[in-house]
Amino acid sequence: MELTEIQRRLREVIQRSGIQQKEIAKAVGVSAQTVSKYMKKDVFPALDTFAKLCAFLDVRADYVLGISEY
């Protein structure tokens, strides 16, 4: 799986959540601007932040990483 596909999946799950970027940022301990960078630029979170994002958004990390389809 290419990094660009992983980033696309992360953007997808953030969008589908319907949760405001500001709320996501607060929950995972980053700025709203950082979440915006995940959405608009080819920026990927640090692994600890990625784990927090997956937990907060209730999505399996293996889906985002392309290991599984669900």
**Per-residue pLDDT tens digits for 19-59:** 999 999 999 999 999 999 988 887 889 999 999 999 999 99
In angstroms, the CA 6 to CA 53 distance is: 14
Q: What is the CATH number of domain 3-63?
A: 1.10.260.40
Contact partners, residue 64, CB within 8 Å, separation at least 6? 6, 9, 10, 13, 50, 54
- pLDDT band of residue 3 (cuts 50, 70, 90) is confident
CB 21 within 8 A of CB 36: yes
| DSSP structure string for 34-46 | HHHHHHHSS----
* pLDDT tens for each residue of 44-55: 899 999 999 999
